[in-house]
Amino acid sequence: MPLQLILHLDLQGRNAAAQARRAARAHLVTAAEDDGGYLPPLTMDTALLLISELVTNAVRHTSGGCLLEVRLASEGIDIEVTDTSDAEPEPRRPDRRGEGGWGWHLVNRLGTDVGIHHHAAGGKTIHVRVPR
């Protein structure tokens, strides 16, 4: 894949997830077109869902917002969300009444190469790949 552009987006506040989805969709569409390849709709939808979950959790459970990085690679879509907290996500029992608990389960079920990197200066980066 000749094009290796990465979307970098600083996010915070209640509209962070919506802003992340819009920017990621535009970036991925352009990257796929520039690559001459096809990005299956299910891959795009899965990536946008995981981006939304990771950004929402970073903004909701940490201070200082987060940084989203998205890159289209030959293997899939690499997503990284960096936040200010050292705490790792903990799976919760999903609430069927809409009170949350689904996000970390979705990330681990729909993504591959899920990993958490802690930074010496504090904070962490969560990485996930959505296979193409």
Q: Which residues are bridge partners to 115 per DSSP? A: 127
Helix pair 16-35, 41-61: axis angle to 10 deg: 150
Determine the Cα–Cα distance for residues 49 and 4; give it in Å rounded to an integer. 22
Helix pair 103-110, 41-61: axis angle to 10 deg: 140
**Who's near 129: CB < 8 A, 6+ residues apart?**
73, 75, 76, 77, 78, 79, 111, 112, 113
pLDDT attached to residue 29: 93
pLDDT tens, per residue, the chain with 132 residues:
444 579 999 999 989 999 999 999 999 999 988 877 788 999 999 999 999 999 999 998 888 889 999 999 888 999 999 999 999 988 777 667 766 767 898 999 999 999 999 999 999 999 999 998
pLDDT attached to residue 4: 55
pLDDT attached to residue 90: 82
